[in-house]
Structure 1
Amino acid sequence: ANPDFFFAGWNYGMKVGGEVTPSALETYGIKTFVLSESCVFTASQKQKASMDLLYNDELTLGKIFGKQPEARTLVDGWKKTLNALPKPPQGVQPLKVFVYDSGEDKPFTSGRYAMPTAIIEAAGGKNVMDDLEMSWGTTSWESVATAEPDFIILLDYQTGSGADSLRRFLENHPLMKQTPAVKQQRYLKLQYAELTPGPANINAAEKLAHAMYPAAHQ
């Protein structure tokens, strides 16, 4: 292929200590741009996930490819879209959201450094696992149930059937079936591309806001 530019992230095409890294690619004259959200795996000071990370990556790519005005227009449009999303009704606390990726013995979910935290906050919610000092990883069902999520995002790697399987598991789990989200059947299926850094994050935030606060969108 003989590329001269590689755009990826840690755990999104590159692995710390793996064969494909910026330093390894540099020996072949290949320049690398790393997704900011993924830099939590190498940074000495970790930064909580935010939409600003997405905005800054887009602006940097615009600079790299000589498309700065277009990148600025795109980012301004994203901000306008998210700013138009209504906040939770006055006097109402943001809904607590759990991201269920996979796992039965222990759930695999997103912590404070993964992009879903930023998406959830942009939609007017709160990631119930944002106290976990990690990007993606496992926790216990006891911790999730104790947090009493009001809403659950089901990560769908397939075309709906994957998320349906996750939902059925939750509805039969002795702890999770007692949570507000499961009792009230409050779920949203989102694709992998919508929950990892990229333009699809904006649409994901819109979907989530509409699902969490339907009355505010009428």
Structure 2
Amino acid sequence: MTRSYQRALCGVALVAVLAACAGQPPSAPTPAATEVTSCGRAQSFPTPPKRILSLNQHATEILVALGLTDRIVGTAYPDTPDVPASIAADYRRVKLVAEKYPSAEQVLEAEPDVVVGGYASAFSEKDGRGREALERKGIRTLLLAESCSTGPIGISTYTDDLVLFGKAFGVADRAAKLAEETTRRVDAVSAKLKGVEPVPVFFYDSGEKVAFTVGGHGLGNDIAKRTGGGNIFADLPKVFGDASWEQVAERAPKAVVLVDYLGAGGVDGKRTFLQGHPLVAKTPGVAQGRYVTLTLPDLIEGIRLADAVEKLARGLHPGVSW
């Protein structure tokens, strides 16, 4: 075989290879992973999670409202049997894996891509559900920001979390729409109550030796401000915390919010206790029977927020045309 013939063959082969390559469509670039930061921990989602375990009711309600019901492999720790009518049918389809928090073994049995917590207690280190421990097993974690706040927060904390969830789960449009609707309704209430005299409010969660109440760092405090009220324990630097009954009496609330949830006794018992308390019975709100009942999920991050604002505003200002 002559060298010229060899060169000719190589040329033919090169043309064939180039032709073959030219006939193949270019490979699509690999999509970049979605990156979010949740309560100080960076999370990477190469694709939207398909198996979600949600460990608190208010977190689960958000996920259902975002249209993610078919991806939720389980929920846990319900606070109330009542669920907003807008999501009730879908919420009932979600499997309850534990009445309280599931064990670490139960979490792993659910084979989640991601675990979502509404309260920081969802990620208990001592129970083997710590965020770092789960992430070492390849399970990503998301925690609603109210649980890791170090100062006063507002309704924007919730709407920001909606945006974060929308990004992480690939439902950005739904999340934006829900955030916008919440903001619109809350702002409408605030505008109607502009200039009204604030009503001092005592939030009674539970407790008899001391009062467990809403502090100044949570959404409950912002809800009070936006409804023409004033949380009498806005100076308590916590989302929820203890106060003495002497303090309650000294601050003389003109209205009382009874917080209703499973495991804390019924609101009738709470009302009876306040009416019989030697210090609190004579405060204006108790003496005049000015009570408003809200559920625990009404006062924390979740889809009930706008409803809670409207209900409390009506209760504090019945003379306003609603």
Match of 2:313 in 1: 209
Match of 2:169 in 1: 65
Matched ranges for 1:5-84 at <5 A: 5-15=114-124, 19-40=128-149, 46-84=150-188
1:167 matches 2:274: no
Q: Aligned equivalents of 1:135 and 1:17: distance in 2?
A: 23
| % identity of equivalent residues | 35
CA RMSD of aligned residues (A): 2.1
- Structure scoring higher RCO (CA < 8 A, sep ≥ 6) equals 1
C-alpha distance 89-78 of structure 1, shift in aligned 2 (>3 A): closer
TM-score, reference length from structure 2: 0.62
Q: Aligned equivalents of 1:17 and 1:10: distance in 2?
A: 15
Any gaps of 5 or more consecutive residues in structure 1? 41-45
Letter in 2 for 1:23: E
Any gaps of 5 or more consecutive residues in structure 2? 1-109
After TM superposition, give the deviation of residue 18 of structure 1 in Å: 5.1
Q: Runs ≥4 in structure 1, deviation > 3 angstroms? A: 9-12, 15-18, 86-90
Q: Aligned equivalents of 2:152 and 2:112: distance in 1?
A: 32
Alignment partner for residue 296 of structure 2, among 188, 192, 195? 192
C-alpha contact (below 8 Å) 2:215/2:233 kept by paired residues: yes
After TM superposition, give the deviation of residue 202 of structure 1 in Å: 1.6
Greater Rg by CA: 2
1:110 matches 2:214: yes
After TM superposition, give the deviation of residue 208 of structure 1 in Å: 0.2
After TM superposition, give the deviation of residue 17 of structure 1 in Å: 5.7
TM-score, reference length from structure 1: 0.89
Secondary structure of 1:13's partner? helix
Letter in 2 for 1:32: T
Secondary structure of 2:269's partner? helix
C-alpha distance 194-105 of structure 1, shift in aligned 2 (>3 A): same
Cα-to-partner distance string for 1:95-149 (whole Å, 9 max, x where unaligned): 1111111111101112112221122222221111110112222110011111111
C-alpha distance 59-11 of structure 1, shift in aligned 2 (>3 A): same
Secondary structure of 2:115's partner? strand
Match of 1:146 in 2: 250
Secondary structure of 2:320's partner? helix
After TM superposition, give the deviation of residue 21 of structure 1 in Å: 2.0
Q: Aligned equivalents of 2:111 and 2:127: distance in 1?
A: 20
Cα-to-partner distance string for 1:188-215 (whole Å, 9 max, x where unaligned): 1111221222111221111101111111
C-alpha contact (below 8 Å) 1:152/1:187 kept by paired residues: yes
C-alpha distance 21-9 of structure 1, shift in aligned 2 (>3 A): farther
Give the number of aligned pairs: 212
Cα-to-partner distance string for 1:169-199 (whole Å, 9 max, x where unaligned): 1111111111111121111111122122211
Q: Aligned equivalents of 2:295 and 2:204: distance in 1?
A: 12
After TM superposition, give the deviation of residue 16 of structure 1 in Å: 6.3
C-alpha contact (below 8 Å) 2:182/2:305 kept by paired residues: no
